[in-house]
Structure 1
């Protein structure tokens, strides 16, 4: 049996470590810790929404959406890059497609894209969604690519490379898996991926501040601007944060990137309130997907008898105190996100930051732990 250390090193799959602070408690402590992050220049801006039993118990903005203009973060309206928190959104659309019989997650990927270059082994949609297909990770500057690629054009980045391992034998987290899934979804449904997500997920759940990056020429030709939320064709552009990267001397503007081709894996933008609303929809059973199908997406996959702490597009794990959650961590150029749903405690956490990984996950876990102190007191 292979060791599972490689899985535990993965930030998206490993158990999160919660830190206690006994000097303060509950909501006051959470507020204090978040203020400290801004005060000590650990993050340019933070928006947080916490729901308990479907009601907002804490919602606040910290720091700036624009450091130069001193534009404050608005917890309801400010729009951030949510990076890999896009995956649960895409996974929900995929689950609808499975329910509607348009895609079989245990069917070969080649059933939907027969022209994709053949590899040494076959692999399924499930392999891709669980990051066990053997697709490689980013190379070189691919993480910060700034080219106006369509989803299908995005496949050209990696499609000619061999699989890293035989599908189903290992776990390797990457966003290319979801570029492939979104391409398959388009072929299976006959409509653009972003339109399907808008129709099946965003509109029904009232996620009005969840947007896609600026439109491309091919999108304009389809004339879908009235149906899909484009940040460049609406007043939402004024609500989008500036994107930053943290360096030794402080924060600087992040490099320009075009994330449209990897929309499903890390391209969406949203507000803290919208992401919390999305999580609450699962607790309230407003996501009209059968329990049987949802369980497949929200159950950690196994590799050689070991948990990957990852379902199908969802991180599925427990924290250091044994509390079970599902959700996702997101890290992209100019954006960092925490999205966690604790079903037993009926808690939803949505924390968005306008900076590439600011290295404060431990502090964010401490903030989250404050709310358990509050409900336990």
Structure 2
């Protein structure tokens, strides 16, 4: 969920910046490509990424294979204390939270509580009739055409006036309720934060259970996620990776600037690198639901996550396919004020990468930094798929 700056003081930019950043997440043989001579180690690459001008204060990557977990980290988790990032540090996972709403919805599909062809008219008749034909499938692969509430003038005005405002998370779509669909459902791909709000509301309507409880029962418990939550406020649980605004220097801590009630199912989850590793291994492999649902989830359409992940991107149901020069991984990305995330795993879930940095990196904030980050991420994916421990 790409939330960025609001009007809070001399370091946080003019309110117009937030609008620009709220828009927004068969394998090749492993070893089919080779790295150039003198290819630097993963540690050197991450160090270089952090220490370049405009780089994040800290970064941590967890590479999990059949042989165990390797942690690569650079910079600091907190510029005040200088301590290094750790796998059990909390962080905002941003739009990788959309994979969690995908996990809930697809588990309910597997249980036959929901159907992928269920429409908003059937499940959420209180929403505008003009949106009625949109299906759960179209919400999950961002082909719904729903207008993005996080770009609406009304929502942005409230956020600018009070970045910690307590929104009614279940009424976020009200900000765009008078707007028509952006296109006929199923005819285009357009990443929208409204999609996953609607997914969570459909799950609640089908079960009569709050989304937060569905997360606990259907995702956290079976995947043994012990440090993952969906808060409403702005406080971070300790210990945590501090998120920073790095433009211009020196870095400013923005970890607790914005409340999470205004992003909810589209980007509000807080977790740790260790928990996100467990999550993506189970999610990418389809451990939460049966083969029938996995096959539906992996019907790909052209479209990139936000920010774009490594290699060539395509969109499935609550998941993205990243086709790198070394092979394919499945996962999701995300960015918000102070944080950027990538979670990815092989389709069998046996190898995974969690890649977290402590500043916001996307096309709007710094296109060149995004290019560099994607190149580093692809190199990490290649090392993961080849089983190297460089």
TM range (shorter): 0.7 to 0.9
Unaligned runs of 5+ in 1: 1-9, 13-17, 216-230
1:309 aligns with 2:321: no
Find the counterpart in structure 1 of residue 44 from structure 2.
32
Task: Give me the whole-angstrom Cα distance separating, in 2, the residues matched to 1:152 and 1:19.
Answer: 49
Partner of 1:104: 115
Gaps of 5+ in 2: 1-22, 26-32, 304-311, 362-368
2:17 maps to none
For residue 362 of structure 1, the aligned residue among 332, 354, 375 is: 375
Give the direction of change, closer, same or farther, for the CA distance of 1:43–1:62 in structure 2 (3 Å limit).
same
TM-score when normalising by structure 2: 0.77
SS in 2 for 1:237: coil
Q: 1:302 to 1:247 in 2, by over 3 A?
A: closer
Report the counterpart of residue 298 of structure 2 in structure 1: 298
TM-score by length of 1: 0.79
CA distance in 2, matches of 1:90, 1:269: 14
Q: Deviations over 1:114-159 (max 9, x none)?
A: 1111217621111111111101234267576543123312122222
Partner secondary structure for residue 86 of structure 1: helix
Which residue, 74, 77, 94 being the options, matches 1:65? 77
Distance 1:120 1:299 in 2: 23
- The equivalent position to 1:343 in structure 2, one of 326, 344, 347, is 347
CA RMSD in angstroms comes to 3.0
Residue pair 1:91, 1:313 contacting (<8 A) in 2 also = yes
Change (3 A) 1:190 1:374: closer
The correspondence for 1:331, drawn from 311, 335, 338, is 335
**Cα deviation, residue 373, structure 1:** 5.3
Name the residue aligned to 2:194.
176
Structure 1 residues 97 and 183, CA gap change in structure 2 (3 angstroms): same
Aligned residue pairs: how many? 335
Instruction: Return the alpha-carbon distance in structure 1 between the equivalents of residues 288 and 132 of structure 2.
Output: 35
Structure 2 counterpart of 1:23:
38
Evaluate the alpha carbon distance shift between residue 124 and residue 283 of structure 1 in structure 2; reply closer, same or farther with a 3 A threshold. Answer: closer
Does 1:115 find its partner at 2:126?
yes
CA 1:117/1:308 → structure 2, altered by over 3 Å: closer, same or farther?
farther
CA distance in 2, matches of 1:322, 1:262: 34
Partner of 1:194: 212
State the shift of 1:283 in Å. Answer: 6.8
> Could you tell me whether the CA contact under 8 Å between 2:189 and 2:302 is conserved in 1?
no
Distance 2:214 2:132 in 1: 30
